[in-house]
Amino acid sequence: MKRLQFSSVFVAMMLLLLCHHNELGAQKIETYPSNWFVQMKWNKVQVLFRSTSMDLSKASISTKYAGVTVQGISHFKNSHYVVANVFIASTAKAGDIQFVLNNGVSTETVTWTLKPRRPGKGTSFAQGVNQSDFIYFLMPDRFSNGEASNDRLPGLKDQTLNRDSIYHRHGGDLQGVKNHLDYLQQMGVTTLWMTPVIENDMPNRTEHGYAFTNHYAIEKRFGGAAAYLQLSDALHQRGMKLIQDAVYNHVGRFHFLVQDAPDPNWLHQWPRYTQTNYKDQTQFDPYGAKVDLKKMADGWFTTEMPDMNHQNEFVAQFLIQHALWSVETFGIDAWRIDTYIYNDMPFMNRCNKALNEEYPKLTSFGECWVHGVSNQAYFVENNINNAFKSNLQGAADFQTLFYGIQPALNEKPSWDGGVIKLYNTLANDFLYKDATRNVIFLDNHDMTRALSSFGESIPKLKMGVAWLLTCRGIPQLYYGTEVLMKGISNPDGWVRLDFPGGWPGDAKNAFTGVGLTKDEKEMLDYTRVLGNYRKSSSAITTGKLMQYIPNNGLYVYFRYDEKQTVMCVMNTTSESKKVDMGHFEERTNGFKTGKDIVTGQVVGNQFSIAPQTLQVIELIK
């Protein structure tokens, strides 16, 4: 036993010496952000220095770089950290800044790069999303494997690689996404949103990406920062846009700010593990108890996702600067903000404001998974007379999903059931400052897939897709819906299966059409026809919405402007219905016929619509 112990100690000492030697060969002090940019409005940058080899508890920081000054220093309980408040004058030039750190015992010089702004300073990126866009949402790990060499990398905690498991990594990456941008454009897609691409060095369930472990590192198994830049550039060269998935509320348990926190109060601390109560009402309830609000906002999502303390100014600056850095570094056009309602609301207003001051066209929409239009409207720019006013432009519209299209297609029509719920939900749009900024969808990575939620009825799914691509708001399609992917979200891995054709040797390939069934091909063609039509339709992309009260399961709404009128007729019943355009004279007056966008057939003033069908008709004078 003694011999074994000696051997273990000897090996450990040798490894420590080797690691120390490696550190000496490279910069031992990390900086966050990793760099900054000239000519930014955000020119007072909080630079967090971290070192596990140098005591920073009393370190001074200085630089002689022209136009750059250190205006203040903050120390923490943890001697691994120090913060410098760095002012970057408008006269500062791009280049490598040398920061000198001195703790009274030793001196270290840290190189921190000041880079030029992206060309155009927001004119060719940071464009935001609006009704003219069509978002395609995918999970990189489950979409396509473009580079097999990065599937499993040594040194990372999660070493799984098994496509037969719904919980393990499957090997998809950013190169795989880039390889298939033609497929997206052929469907009329203008914008790509992916689950987070930031490093997730967690022990398991890393396929979703929502537990960051280093904000300033792009996931190596996706190809790293180089692959992300290449994908962003490829999208912009095609006139397409990129949405980044932001997570401000929490990080992964193995994030260095958790494992080696500057101060305990960088996270929300509790005497014992306390989970959020998931009650959004606590944010606006006029009768609510403060203890309930605190548990809602400060409670943790899971033990694996510690909750960030946004009221800590260092945390707030860290997160805001990362958002700005990401836009400038990768050319982000818009943000989808995860678990929006669990964040500190004043902090979110600060973050949104900082982004929009730097990038006026950039837009953000939040995941506001709540129940009730008023609940959702509270978290975005709204017309509600309330003390707190959010500056978030839009929300992922769970209301038109749960209380709109799902009951419209799954419930029998009645006075207060079925499609009347969709009508009622849209009638509450007066609560929003601009409801067209909401992102509408049929499903996502956390819920039962659309086809399964509609009882695996293809006619219903077609109706859902037609509604998605013609209703007000910004449509978002979850990957694979267009080729009839299905799955129940219990557990969630069943709604995160591989896209057919994304891996060499797949028997079914949606990208080429090989192996697709007749129904799958028809669904893909159907989506392509409507996706491309909406792209060139002024009425749908910039026009207004008018809806009529549903009548016995028949729901008619119009998208219109001065140039074009599109009539959408939804028959949610199991029998054919007669339609008389004269009943909708306010919008049909002056038009003689119409053209069915999907079939190309001419439609007269009176026609019949088949059961479980949504006809999209462009009216003709």
Record the tokens describing residue 299, joined without a space.
């409670």
CA dist 424 and 434 (Å) reads 17
197, 140 contact by CB (below 8 A): yes
Task: Tell me the one-letter amino acid at 563.
Answer: K
Query: What is each CA distance from 493 to 73, 172, 584, in whole angstroms?
Result: 46, 15, 45
Angle (CA) 355 357 363, round 5°:
50
Q: Residue 621: CA atoms inside 13 Å, Cβ hemisphere, count?
A: 7
Q: What angle do CA 564, 551, 606 make, to 5 degrees?
A: 55
- Any residues with CB less than 8 A from the CB of 66 and at least 6 apart, and which? 91, 92, 93
Q: Assess contact for 197 and 189: CB atoms under 8 A.
A: no
Residue 169 to residues 163, 331, 435, 581, Cα–Cα distance (Å):
7, 27, 37, 53
Of the CA atoms within 13 Å of residue 432, those in its CB half-sphere come to 25
- 48-63: b (≥16 Cβ within 10 Å) or e: bbbbeebebeebebeb
Specify whether the backbone of 86 is left (phi greater than 0), alpha (psi in -120 to 50) or beta.
Answer: beta
Strand order in the sheet with 35-37: 35-37, 107-115, 95-102, 60-62
Does 338 participate in catalysis according to the annotation? yes
The one catalytic residue among 133, 199, 298, 338: 338
| Residue 361 amino acid letter | K
Q: Given the residues 280, 367, 397, 506, select the one marked as catalytic.
A: 367
Cis peptide bond upstream of 459, omega within 30: no
| Segment 503-509 long-range contacts (CB within 8 Å, at least 24 positions apart) | 503/144, 503/145, 503/163, 503/170, 503/171, 504/145
Six-digit token string for 199:
């490093």
Considering Cα of 133, then 473, then 391, then 257, what sign does the dihedral take?
A: negative
Answer for the pair 354, 381: CB distance below 8 angstroms, yes or no.
no
What burial class does residue 86 get, using C-beta atoms within 10 Å of its C-beta: 0-12 exposed, 13-18 middle, 19+ buried? buried
Beta carbons of 344 and 388 less than 8 angstroms apart: no
The set of residues, in sequence order, having a beta carbon less than 8 Å from that of 72 and lying 6+ positions away, is: 84, 85
Active site residue 201: no
Distance in angstroms (rounded) separating the CA atoms of residues 290 and 591: 58
* Residues noted as catalytic: 338, 367
